[in-house]
Amino acid sequence: MASPSPLDRCWVLKDSPAATPLMPAMRAAVEQHWPDVLRTAGSVLGDEALAAEIMEQAIEQAVAYLTDHPPENHDHVNAILARFWREEIGRRRKQNAHLVFIDFSAAAEPSSPETPFPAADAAIDAERILRDAPPKVREAIMMRYGSSDSWKDVAARTATTPASIRMSCKRFIDRIRRELGIPGTTQ
């Protein structure tokens, strides 16, 4: 059986008489955003199958919003639907918040001869090294380099001083460089 088309996701509109004028614009918006929802669900949540639920939820929210706030044009409907599906993905990502390491075992090996180790080995080593990090340092590294938080924010979250947590992270990153054989800066 074939997967339902993105337009089949508009079934939610059939129950609402107020949504009848929105049907053409909503169908066009769903068709335009469907590939993005699929791709984003796969990359952010790790499961493309969730795209259907996300789109249906976004359609319901968009119709409810647009019923109270009539759209100016098709682009407005498009923007509203985009906002709601992105919010739904963000909500689900936060709900399942946990550190995810990407498996590079299926990735092609680097073609550059100056790289001393394959990408898959680097990913495995990085996972092992971060697993060995003290909890505060691991959290600080993810906040600083994963979320681009300031050292002041990182220090407040880890209950240390900015200089202290920065130096702990620097030492740990230097250790990662040594273990991976990457020449680093010495200070």
Question: DSSP string covering 17-67, please?
Answer: GGGGGGHHHHHHHHHHHHHHHHHHIIIIIS-TTHHHHHHHHHHHHHHHHHH
At 171, list the tokens.
């030492």
The whole model's pTM is what?
Answer: 0.47
Summarize pLDDT for 29-49 with one digit per residue, the tens: 888 989 999 888 888 888 888
| pLDDT band at 160; cut points 50, 70, 90 | very high
14 and 91 co-located in one domain:
yes
15 and 91 co-located in one domain:
yes
Q: Which domain CATH number covers 137?
A: 1.10.10.10
Q: Ranked by mean pLDDT, which of 68-82, 114-128, 151-165 comes out on top? A: 151-165
The rounded percent of the chain whose pLDDT value lies above 70 is 70
Q: Which domain holds residue 19?
A: 6-95
84 and 125 co-located in one domain:
no
Q: Between vectors from CA 70 to CA 15 and to CA 17, what angle results, nearest 5°?
A: 20
- Cβ-proximal residues to 89 (8 Å cutoff; 6+ apart), any chain: 37, 40, 41, 44, 45, 54
